[in-house]
Structure 1
Amino acid sequence: MLGLGIAALYAVGSTILAVAMFTIGGAVIMLHGYLIPGTPQLTRALPESVLGAFGKNEVEAFSSNLPATKALLAVGLLDEDYRLPAEVEERIQATAAKGVNDSDVLEQAIVKKFDDVVEVSARRSLGGGENWFAFDTDEVAVRQWEARAVAALDMAVIDLLAERIPDWDDRSAADRTAMAAILRYGLQMCPACGDEYVEPEGQHMTCCGGRSLVGERQCPACDYALVDRNDLPTDAEVLA
């Protein structure tokens, strides 16, 4: 699919795509610290050395291959405090609601946005919700989402990014996934039930034992995580 747990991710941390996940990880931290209400309980879980490495970001004019977070700032999808402007959230929520309410609309949106996807399948999860999968011509799942709401939000976010980011089509798949995750993580409300997203206190571990910078921001009513942990860097030390 980072603002902000997440498919292989790399975002541009300088002008070199190879170090991009560092910048994205930094944006995750900034979103933890400034985006979400109740920030003290969120930032307590992050190392002081990492938190102290970032200050208020300056907004630059957009230019080709601008690092992901700076690109989002430049086009107004994030403000200087790394918050999603109200009109951005409203636009994303309105678009996502269409996919949440109509599975055919969501399926068509997924096929349209991913060139290699030829089939979309929704399957019941053990918790009673829906897991969504996008398959290529070899019947390999190239994308998956934990819930219909997450898939719908992802499509809404990608719509907005494609419209606002001038070099969107030229960016790597990993960079686009990271940018979408940043915006998705910054959303305040679940489009399926209307509840606010929450995040449990404390460190969260990945399946391999690494710490997740984004924790487990989730909808408590629908029981899904807003951002999959595979979408973002998990090692805080690389950001210090």
Structure 2
Amino acid sequence: MDSVPAPLRRFHRPEYTGENRCLPCTVANTAIAALLTLVAGVVSPVLAVVVLGLSLGAIWLRGYLVPGTPELTKRYFPDWVLRRFDKGPATGVGAEARVEVDPDTPQVDPETELLAIGAVEEADDDLRITDEFRAAWRDSIESVRRDTAAHVGSLLALEEPRVEDREVACIVTDGGVERARWPSEAALLADLGAVPLLRERVANWDELDRVTQGQLLAGLRIFAENCPSCDGPLAFSEERTESCCRTVDVVTYDCGDCGARVLEVER
């Protein structure tokens, strides 16, 4: 809000701008603005400049140019397009707010990989984390918790790392610029604590692309038995979440005490 000049604040719609801005809606409205500018240019170059300025200003202040854009975007944009935009920056290991992977990206089977390195074991026709890995992971998380910003800065090679646990996600910034996000600080602690353990056990860990690393880390989070932030109990549930122009059914893994979301997987 402070970045908006006082005379324009009555036109500002914070629910559709800033971190709440919907990228598909912004793309659609920018395309409409470009079309209107071309049409105005036929009449007058000056008019084209005015139309472009007013259109971009409206998108910046309000998040959209055409009223009802979210519903139009939801109706006419294919879901695969909305899925590509409806994600946080994937600049860090395990940094996506949801575990959504490009269908063209080679998939790994986290359970198979975690079994192979001894992080989990079979028990009563199911899998569970091994006692040895659980203890090592807990100790590593405790170390990370003492200086989370320094650990995430080292992992992502950031110069001015800052961790902000906001309502919608845990945001990692560098010099004020968002670089990565996790579902919560608890999920960030879980991943930061797991990375050195997986680096020791997975021979080619540093050669894996970040999507693959993220899949393994998210797969490991499923086996966490207690919240990395408060040590409360974790439990699965199902819910329907809505972004500006998508409705998604997800399975969540949340802390019963502090409410931290350790994992969110789209069904």
TM-score of the aligned structures, taking structure 2 as reference length: 0.54
Find the residue that maps to 2:121 and give its secondary structure: coil
Determine whether 1:82 maps to 2:124.
Answer: no
Which amino acid is 1:110 matched to? V
CA deviation after TM superposition for structure 1 residue 71, in Å: 2.2
Say yes or no: does 1:162 pair with 2:249.
Answer: no
Structure with greater strand share of residues: 2
1:133 paired to 2:133: no
- 1:106 correspondence with 2:148: yes
Q: CA offsets, 1:185-215, max 9 Å, x none?
A: 2101113322111223x45446422332xx1
CA separation in 1, counterparts of 2:165 and 2:206? 33
Residue in 2 that maps onto 1:211: 249
Higher relative contact order (CA 8 A, sep 6+): 1
> Against the structure 1 CA distance between its residues 180 and 223, is the aligned structure 2 distance closer, same or farther, given a 3 Å change threshold?
same
CA RMSD of aligned residues (A): 2.9
Q: Which amino acid aligns with 2:203?
A: P
Distance 1:220 1:142, change over 3 A: same
Any unmatched runs of 5+ in structure 2? 1-93
How has the CA–CA distance of structure 1 residues 76 and 87 changed in structure 2, closer, same or farther, with 3 Å as cutoff? same
Identical pairs, percent = 16
TM-score when scaled to structure 1? 0.59
Aligned partner of 2:105: which letter? A
Match of 1:9 in 2: 101
Q: Residues 181 and 122 of structure 1: is their aligned pair in 2 closer, same or farther, counting only changes over 3 Å?
A: same
Query: Between Structure 1 and Structure 2, how many residues are aligned?
Result: 167
List aligned pairs for 1:65-76, cutoff 5 A: 68-76=110-118
Deviations 1:146-196 (A, max 9, x none): 443322211011111111100111111100011011111210111332211
Question: Shift in Å at residue 122 of structure 1?
Answer: 2.9
Partner of 1:145: 182
Q: How does 1:217-232 map to 2 (within 5 A)?
A: 217-227=253-263, 229=264, 232=265
Structure 1 unaligned residues grouped into runs of 5+: 12-16, 25-67, 236-240
Please, which of 163, 172, 175 is the counterpart of residue 122 of structure 1?
163
Post-superposition Cα deviations, 1:90-140, rounded to whole Å, max 9, x if no partner, equal 21112112333x2xx21121122123x33322335359xx934143x7x54
Q: Distance in 1 between matches of 2:255 and 2:164?
A: 19
- Structure exhibiting the larger radius of gyration computed from Cα positions: 2
Mapped to 2, the partners of 1:203 and 1:123 lie a distance apart of: 25
2:181 counterpart SS class: strand
In 2, Cα distance between the equivalents of 1:206 and 1:87? 39
The verdict on how the C-alpha distance between 1:168 and 1:203 changes in structure 2, with shifts beyond 3 A counting, is same
